[in-house]
Structure 1
């Protein structure tokens, strides 16, 4: 079914190729088909021109044909290398961030490289990745070249009791169980006047959130770490030996108008492994 596809943003860049490899691994574990999405932007001196091109403006048809060939060849090679996995590719027209956001409504998961062609060198994560992670209709995984994660590392997830973090916890538990790797649950807290006396209450809250997932995946190795200090720093440090770090799109304390919380943004910029940003549909 189309709504069960893993959609991967692909533009031929190094980061996009790494994202495709991650998406193919996810497809092998989940059994879901993978679709490459190349968003072709007709550019003129006046900006973007879509399929209904303005009179007198002639977009580069040769470049479009080259893109079609690239996507078809890449999808074919990926399918050959992954027998039993359905891999297709499609070229869309329009601004990349907007098109990927729209297509995410029909996907179970969207996988992106942190930067594609045209990104500014000073940005660790391109504007497309940040924008799509903020507005997508499905979970988004951002993969940066050199941060593919350890082959046997745990899946790490940040939990703060917010609804978004509980959704992230379920996503993380499912991925850890699929890959038969440990699940590491991290909870950042600021000691109150009672200091360490508050630890049992904090741990009990996390354990209560974990209970349904312990029942669902009884063989899953789960550890819980309570860490004082910044949630973002805690998760960035945990990402050093994780294969995936998972976070809700916004946790507690976020401004109502922000679609992507500061912790999510910092992880996209600085994580040492792929980052999954999860929200309810």
Structure 2
């Protein structure tokens, strides 16, 4: 089974992402890979000899210790979870996007100063836009029993978003709340009808919104444990899956956000 890849630097935000990934691993049975991206010397001050700034052995020891603590955090409470680590040299966004090619999902912390876990305007934006798998940005404390919310607009991403969201809701045993930008006739082959057939026993609540999609999703996130959106979309109504809306959700949602692409893994 493909791995849940966690961008990790030891910060509190990366720690929150790791704990979310641990719980997801317990639900899904998927293994975890804890990834540290070492961007130096890209972040080094100019005109200073690199060896004077970076004793490589010391830095490597610190990275190893950071990753070892991450593994210990998971194994302390869930020793059966398969956890591995990976340290790479290079830009964090590029490293995470590259790992997304065969990952189940990428999990990142929602705030912070870290180049791996927190620069929302750069790393998270880039990874959420260009990853080949779902990208989960962790924030807030999930309320037990709160629903999973999915935003759809009738575009090609509607089914991938609904499938991912329904799988997450079913695994948590909570309702799925679907917010639609445009009316869709409930025919046997319609996406919602397919989801209801595939996930029998899952409570699916569908509603349409007339307000701005970004505002609708941000408001819904206050009472959700997970908000699922698409990375891009061009439905008949300019709506819930456009890049600007997903980026707005990443910045302003009150709960964890999952950004789904065209080909998410099977849940």
**TM-score normalised by structure 2 residue count:** 0.87
State how far apart, in whole Å, the 2-side matches of 1:124 and 1:94 are.
16
Q: 1:86 to 1:124 in 2, by over 3 A?
A: closer
**TM-score normalised by structure 1 residue count:** 0.83
Is the partner of 1:204 in helix, strand or coil? coil
Q: 1:125 to 1:45 in 2, by over 3 A?
A: closer
Q: Deviations over 1:224-279 (max 9, x none)?
A: 1112111111111110010100011112269xxxx971110000000000000001
Q: Larger Rg: 1 or 2?
A: 1
Whether 2:83 is the aligned partner of 1:113: answer no
Q: Deviations over 1:123-169 (max 9, x none)?
A: 9834111111011111000113xx13322110000111101122111
Whether 2:152 is the aligned partner of 1:159: answer yes
Is the partner of 2:50 in helix, strand or coil? coil
Deviation at 1:116, TM superposition (A): 4.0
Report what 1:15 is aligned to.
13
* Structure 1: gaps of 5 or more residues: 48-55, 190-200
State how far apart, in whole Å, the 2-side matches of 1:222 and 1:175 are.
12
Is the partner of 1:27 in helix, strand or coil? helix
Report what 1:196 is aligned to.
none
Moved over 6 A (4+): none
Whether 2:235 is the aligned partner of 1:239: answer no
Aligned residues between the structures: 251
Is the partner of 2:88 in helix, strand or coil? strand
Deviates most, 124-133 or 84-93:
124-133
Whether 2:118 is the aligned partner of 1:136: answer no
State how far apart, in whole Å, the 2-side matches of 1:20 and 1:274 are.
13
Q: Deviations over 1:41-97 (max 9, x none)?
A: 2233349xxxxxxxx632332122111111012212312311321112221111111
Is the partner of 1:250 in helix, strand or coil? coil
Q: Is the 8 A contact 1:149 1:272 kept in 2?
A: no
State how far apart, in whole Å, the 2-side matches of 1:158 and 1:206 are.
21
Q: 1:223 aligns with which of 205, 214, 218?
A: 205
Is the partner of 1:39 in helix, strand or coil? strand
Q: Is the 8 A contact 1:133 1:260 kept in 2?
A: no
Report what 1:149 is aligned to.
142
Q: How does 1:179-194 map to 2 (within 5 A)?
A: 179-189=172-182
Report what 1:86 is aligned to.
82
State how far apart, in whole Å, the 2-side matches of 1:207 and 1:238 are.
27
Report what 1:42 is aligned to.
40
Q: Is the 8 A contact 2:8 2:18 kept in 1?
A: yes
Is the partner of 1:181 in helix, strand or coil? coil
State how far apart, in whole Å, the 1-side matches of 2:31 and 2:212 are.
38
State how far apart, in whole Å, the 2-side matches of 1:162 and 1:219 are.
26
Q: Is the 8 A contact 1:203 1:226 kept in 2?
A: no
State how far apart, in whole Å, the 1-side matches of 2:178 and 2:27 are.
22
